[in-house]
Amino acid sequence: MVAIARPVIAAGASGWISWLLSRIDPYMRISWAQEGEDLVLARFLEGKSQGFYVDVGAHHPFRFSNTAFFSQRGWSGINIEPDPDGAALLVRLRPRDVTLNVGVGTISGPLTFHRFDEPALNTFDAALASERVQTSKYRLRERMEVSVVRLDELLDSYLPEGRAIDFLTVDAEGRDADVLASNDWHRFRPTIIVVEALGASPIELSDSDVGRVMNSAGYRLVAMTMNSVFFRDGGC
């Protein structure tokens, strides 16, 4: 069963941070993402005052978030976060969104989730978790079983009927290609997709699992930051 979390009491007005900053400096554009991915997305989606996102590996309502910029402007979406603490924060601070406390992958069922004292490093990838224990200063807090569900199954259940997905953002700590491969690209086609790809060059990306999934789905590479890549639906 998918654990769905919905808020009982709505949080305060979602646009108050943007409003306050606009009063301080009307030219300021704040970014919550690690490398300004939200501002790149905003440029691609320029002119859309309302929209819908899907955030796989949402992590936190603001920290390292590719969707906070849009949430603050009245957008809504689906947040998918396997860490229970992160999911609880998303429920509390994203009252318009649906938050699902599950993982995403090609095979549905329970999977071991490795939780670190730095939540941004949490992963289902056992090899990556072991590497991080050996090479980083962060410690593994615990291992826990978390339900994993295919992306197309989640979208079939929770995407509002007739709703287009303006962008999908995926940060699954070593399992990004698995997340993308679990979608039904004939039924669910976000306009823009942003995926974590640590330090990949365009040539390396084209020969990667992520690149192959996106190419076969009919998406083309349109932008890169240091550690993220952007794809656009080739039919757009």
> What digits encode the pLDDT tens for the residues 168-195?
999 998 899 999 999 999 999 999 999 9
pLDDT value at residue 199: 67
> What digits encode the pLDDT tens for the residues 199-232?
677 777 888 999 999 999 999 999 999 889 999 9
Q: Residue 183's domain is classified under what CATH number?
A: 3.40.50.150
Pick the range with the lowest mean pLDDT from 11-20, 51-60, 137-146, 196-205: 11-20
Pairing of strands 98-100, 52-56: unpaired
- Residue 173: closest CA among 36, 32, 59: 59
pLDDT value at residue 198: 76
Q: What token pair was written down for 185?
A: 């690209």
In a domain, 220, yes or no: yes
With a cut of 50, say whether residue 11 has pLDDT above it.
Answer: no
> What digits encode the pLDDT tens for the residues 117-162?
988 898 988 998 899 999 989 999 999 999 999 999 999 999 999 9
Q: Residue 216 is part of which domain span? A: 32-233
With a cut of 80, say whether residue 235 has pLDDT above it.
Answer: no
- Per the structure, the count of domains in the chain is 1
Q: Mean pLDDT over residues 162-167, rounded?
A: 97
CB 218 within 8 A of CB 185: yes
CB 79 within 8 A of CB 98: yes
Q: How far apart are CA 217 and CA 180, in angstroms?
A: 10
Q: How far apart are CA 162 and CA 23, in angstroms?
A: 37
In a domain, 210, yes or no: yes
DSSP structure class, residue 67:
S
In a domain, 20, yes or no: no
With a cut of 80, say whether residue 90 has pLDDT above it.
Answer: yes
Rounded to two decimals, what is the model's pTM?
0.87
CA dihedral of 175, 178, 91, 12, whole degrees rounded to 10: 90
